[in-house]
Amino acid sequence: MMTKTLYLILSAPIGSVLIIATLFLLADNKPDRLQRDYSVGRALMADAIIQDTVLDIQYNSYYIAGTTDDRLYLGNVTSFLHLLSIDTTLTDTTHISVRIKNGDGLVFRSPSFKIQAPYVYLTDGVMPGLFRGRLGQWEVQKFMVDSAYFTKIVPTGPKNFVIRAMQASSRQYVLGTLQDVPPYLNLASLLQKQVDGVFDVDGNLLYNRERDQVVYVYYYRNQFLVTDPELNLIYEGKTIDTFSRVQLNPVHVSSGKTHMLAAPPKMVNGNSTTKGNFLLVNSKIMGRNDDEDLYSRSSVIDVYGLEQGAYRFSFYLPGYNGRSARDFRIVGNKLIAQYEHHIVTYTLNKKYFPQRELNNIHPEESGDSLNT
């Protein structure tokens, strides 16, 4: 059994920090907060994606829980045992009720589904707890006796996870691996503190199944990390802007255990996703050749190759009904974007997204390239 010394502490004030940070992220979407970096000139490809189909999912409480080879799965924050399964044509939708085996008396604090075929995971970093079941059976049960507290988690194997959590001794965010065999929890000193070790290292935690790699994209600086599933660093990548230093002003309240911000931080990278040899990042920084009106009505997506982290090109992901995309994933040859209460699919132009590269075959091996 995992001993208490292996636990990471996620305190109640940190929950408040996350709420405040979320509000700031939303504020950064307003046109009056647009930032321009005149040193950035994007290679904008107008034909990188082509809109296909729209589906009204009726509610704005859904979130992307994960994908399989041909389906998108949405969780729901107001009904946490509900999943919505959608195929890539948006014509086959299935509402799923997930059962918890021996779940009587369990109190969930921050439940969230993660899909990693052939499994569905129900995670809660505040309880904490990890539950697993098989896709199609829709019953999960606790499968690890103990768990660590965490703020973000991605499955990297049937019983292996990478988590982000707050270290008790430093009260700063760290990455770690979690598994069901000793030593259970291993911490990695990867996140680089610039200001407070909390807001300044916040970011998006991703797992690339095709490459079997973990990617961490910082929100407030032009940097991302690529590691193996054991969190051994492969390389540090840079996004194309020049915002290398976090621009925020944290303050400590009363006992010093509560973190707040004196002003909204300047966001550099928004949501991101990865598949095959590609990393797609929603940049919050305008380049010198971005049209401000078009930029404010769209989400600019910068595309990087994961072999060495090199920038490739960019495209605009259009808004829908006056809303910018909340999240997005690649499924098959489609980019699927979630808006307020709509799902929109876009076909990926194989000139820029060769199928072999989406399956992690290098273009030199297949004969595919951007110019073919």
Residue 296 has pLDDT above 70, yes or no: yes
Query: In whole angstroms, what is the distance from residue 362 CA to residue 354 CA?
Result: 10
* Exposed e or buried b per residue across 158-168, where buried means at least 16 C-beta atoms within 10 angstroms of its C-beta: eeebbbbbbee
DSSP 349: P
pLDDT at 362: 54
Judged against a pLDDT cut of 50, whether residue 138 lies above it is answered with yes
Query: Which whole number is the average pLDDT over 102-119?
Result: 96
When pLDDT is averaged across residues 323-348 and rounded to a whole number, the result is 97
What's the average model confidence in pLDDT over 271-298? 96
Q: Which two tokens stand for residue 174?
A: 């760290």
Average pLDDT for the chain:
88
SS3 4: helix
More reliable by pLDDT, 21 or 334:
334
Comparison of pLDDT for 270 and 27, the residue scoring more: 270
The domains of the chain are located at 4-363
Give bridge partners of residue 186 from the DSSP assignment: 177
What pLDDT is attached to residue 289? Answer: 95
Pairwise pLDDT comparison (13 vs 190), residue with the higher score: 190
Phi/psi of residue 303, nearest 5 degrees: -110, 130
Cα angle value 239/245/251 (rounded, 5°): 130
pLDDT tens track for 246-257: 887 766 665 555
Contact 300, 42 (CB under 8 A): yes
CA dihedral 71, 72, 73, 75 (to 10 degrees): -170
Q: What is the pLDDT of residues 141-169, one digit of tens each?
A: 998 876 789 999 999 999 999 999 999 88
Closest CA to 226 of 245, 206, 196, 241: 206
* CATH number of this structure's domain 4-363, picked from the four choices 3.40.830.10, 3.40.50.150, 3.10.20.600, 2.120.10.30: 2.120.10.30
Secondary structure letter of residue 320 according to DSSP: B
> Strand 269-275 and strand 278-283: pairing?
antiparallel
Our CA angle for 54, 58, 59, nearest 5°, is 120
- pLDDT of amino acid 278: 98
| 352 contacts: CB under 8 Å, gap ≥ 6 | 45, 48, 303, 312, 313, 315, 370
Is residue 139 a contact partner of residue 81, using CB atoms and an 8 Å limit? no
Question: What pLDDT does 222 receive?
Answer: 97
Task: Count CB-CB contacts under 10 A for residue 314.
Answer: 22
pLDDT at residue 35, rounded to an integer? 82
**362: its two tokens:** 């290098």
pTM of the full structure: 0.89
User: Using CA atoms, how far apart are residues 122 and 97, in angstroms rounded to an integer?
Assistant: 13
Residue 29 burial by Cβ neighbours in a 10 Å radius (0-12, 13-18, 19+): middle
Residue 1, pLDDT score: 43
pLDDT score recorded for residue 236: 98
**In sequence order, what are the residues at sequence separation of 6 or more whose Cβ sits closer than 8 angstroms to the Cβ of residue 30?**
none
pLDDT of residue 27: 43
- Provide the pLDDT for residue 15: 46
Report the percent of the chain where pLDDT is more than 70: 83
Q: Of residues 367 and 138, which shows the higher confidence score?
A: 138
Q: Say yes or no to pLDDT of 372 above 90.
A: no
> DSSP string of 249-301?
-EEEETTTTEEEESS-----EEEEEEETTEEEEEE-EEETT--HHHHHTEEEE
Are the C-beta atoms of residues 48 and 280 closer than 8 Å to each other? no
Residue 263 pLDDT grade (very low, low, confident, very high; cuts 50, 70, 90): low
Pairing mode of beta strands 119-124, 111-116: antiparallel
